[in-house]
Amino acid sequence: MSPTAQALLQFLQTWWVELVCGVVIVAVVPLIAGYVVLLERKLMADMQARLGPMRVGPHGLLQPIADAVKLLIKEDIVPRDSDALIFWFAPVISMVAALTSMGALYFGPSFRVAQDINVGILFVIGVSSLGFLGIILGGWASNSHYSIIGAIRSTAQLVSYETAGGLAIISALLLSGTLRIHAIVDAQSSNHVWFIFLAPVGFFTYLVASIAETNRAPFDLPEAESELVAGYMTEYSGFRWALYFLGEYSNMIVVASVATTLFLGGWLRPFPNVHWLNWLDFLPALLIALVGAYCVYRAGKQPVKVQVWFMWAVAFACFAVALIFLVPWIVAPLRSAISGLNGAFWFLLKVSAYIYIFMWLRFTLPRYRFDQLMHLGWYILIPLAIVNVFSVGVAMLFESEFGWNRWLALIVTTAFTLAVSLYLVHVHDKRAAAATSATAATSDSYAG
Amino acid sequence: MLDSILFYFFAGAAVLSAALMVTRRNVMHSAIFLVTTLLAIAGIFLQLRAEFLFIAQIIVYVGGIMVLFIFVIMLVRLDVAIHQIRFRMQRLVAFLVTVALGLELTVILLLAGRLPGGGLFVPKSADADRLPPNSEELAKSLFSSYLLPFEIASVLLLVAMVGSVVMAKNRKRTDES
């Protein structure tokens, strides 16, 4: 074997996990984003008592692929007076920032690109926030009023809610005492509890801030259809629009992964240290096999022959995945892969649950007005996050200095945080009521 | 080898985009080149194994300050404003500052070997992968030996924040009345 080939082989042996995961992230995330869109449309349809996309594939299962092909072959329009270079480049910034920040994440204990970065969680947050550069520049370069107002709104929203989100993250970082992603999850395993139970206010603040950061309803002011057409994306079409879209959905996956890592126990299964619940390790294979069985059951009821075949194909794919999960249990040399596979399953399950909550909120809550959004961010969320950081710190101090029980300390300080939040809401309500009565008085004077 | 390649790449990118930042006519283009300059400097930090400075540079400068810069550029029509408030003595002052800076740099480079501690050249640098983790070291030194300067800086920032809030509030009140 020539030395070059040997060097290459050695390189591959050292880096194959990183390479495979990197390729998977770049190649599969767009597909996942497409199916998240389909799920969202189906869910919206369900909540509004409709069927949603049904035409392409059984129950519209091939709709994302049809949409992707349509977007790829659409005409790419560049407005005449736009700044063409920035207009071309801006969507790429959005997409690249989201994918790069995924590089530092751990999808399960062994699936990752970058190995154990010392500032891992900060890297994810910092780099994913660069995506807003793409939004701002795209809105500015379009040379259109709708775009620029959408971009300015998104900037203001970013500045307000990133502060709250960053402060919310600090509460979990205080509890884990590290910035390494792997060590954060290990801390939750050695504490025998997910941090959502230790810092519930922090999790809630991060949930709200992450919805606002990903520009989703009820905080989707930057692209409010009824006011701004499509916000910063108004002038975009075809593939560039698709890039923005992908960036947005990748960002959703990123914030969901950050929340999962920090608050929901990462890749730990429920009750990771309780031994009589060890049968939960078989659950991933079982669940996927059940989905496959359901597909077989539904296959007989499809009206068109192609759809029957497609259902069978999906069922076989599910069985194959379930088999992959089961193989390490049977083949002894692969036993070490169990934790990796199950970890990935639980991690992705939690991420999906988080994204599902996003969708659920989107169809349940009406959109905020812009001043309400700013008030919520600056008058309630940021003070709440600051008080929460303070409370968690005080609780840890009580535990280490005065020997309090950790739960007692955290319950006391959380109660304090909640009291402060109630006070904040009360003050805000009073101010809002005063403002309404003031405007009512002026309109009365005009009427009289 | 790889280290020096990375250094020259990031340094070249930083210098090139800094030059472009100064020479572009369009303010937004200047802002973008400032962003690339800052990112390249962050890359140099990372190449020096200062991972906390690297990410702090990205979060604070690119994610925070540059967003505000671009925000202001979009809100204010700078193309008009610049022509109105052009500073007459700009060329003279710029020339003087450039000469002073150039002299300073030349003197430092010439005297580099004679400065205490060997000046700019570190004869025996530590192995990069043997260095202690940068975030922890930074936190330790900030909260032990440099606690007083750290607190002074934070109080200063707090005062600035309160001051800006008060100023913004006052103007709003006069607008409404």
What pLDDT is stored for residue B124 in this prediction? 60
Sort out which chain B residues have CB atoms less than 8 A from A155's CB and list them.
67, 70-71, 74
Contact, A250 vs A29, CB < 8 A? Answer: yes
pLDDT digits (tens, 9 = 90+) for B69-112: 887 887 776 666 666 666 677 788 889 999 999 999 888 877 77
Is the interface score ipTM higher than 0.95?
no
**pLDDT level of residue B13 (50, 70, 90 thresholds):** very high
Output the CA–CA distances (angstroms, integers) from residue A332 to A13, A109, A329, in the order listed. 22, 20, 7
Q: How far apart are CA A9 and CA A14, in angstroms?
A: 9
DSSP state of A114: S
pLDDT digits (tens, 9 = 90+) for A376-424: 888 888 888 888 888 888 888 887 777 777 777 778 778 888 888 888 8
The position carrying tokens 């992707």 is A68
Residue A147 CB contacts under 8 Å (≥ 6 apart), including other chains: A138, A139, A140, A231, A232, A233, A234, A235
Sort out which chain B residues have CB atoms less than 8 A from A129's CB and list them.
59, 63
C-beta atoms of B67 and A179 within 8 A? no
Rounded to a whole number, what is the distance in Å from the CA of B73 to chain A's nearest CA?
10
Q: A145, A161, A179, A251: best mutation site toward chain B, by most B Cβ within 10 Å?
A: A179
Sort out which chain A residues have CB atoms less than 8 A from B74's CB and list them.
136, 140, 148, 151-152, 155
The position carrying tokens 């950081």 is A389
pLDDT digits (tens, 9 = 90+) for B118-149: 556 555 666 666 667 778 888 888 888 889 99
Contact, A121 vs A262, CB < 8 A? Answer: yes
pTM of the model: 0.83
Q: How far apart are CA B58 and CA A433, in angstroms?
A: 41
Q: Does A92 contact chain B (CB < 8 Å)?
A: no
Sort out which chain B residues have CB atoms less than 8 A from A83's CB and list them.
26, 28
Rounded to a whole number, what is the distance in Å from the CA of B59 to chain A's nearest CA?
5
What pLDDT is stored for residue B131 in this prediction? 67
C-beta atoms of B62 and A130 within 8 A? yes
What pLDDT is stored for residue B15 in this prediction? 92
Q: How far apart are CA A237 and CA A138, in angstroms?
A: 12
pLDDT digits (tens, 9 = 90+) for A269-322: 777 777 777 777 777 778 888 888 888 887 777 777 777 887 888 888 888 888
What pLDDT is stored for residue A196 in this prediction? 83
Q: A82, A137, A160, A178: best mutation site toward chain B, by most B Cβ within 10 Å?
A: A137
Q: How does the average pLDDT of chain B come out, rounded?
A: 80
Sort out which chain A residues have CB atoms less than 8 A from B59's CB and list them.
122, 125-126, 129
What pLDDT is stored for residue B154 in this prediction? 92
Residues in chain A with pLDDT < 70?
Answer: 1, 221-229, 332-336, 438-448
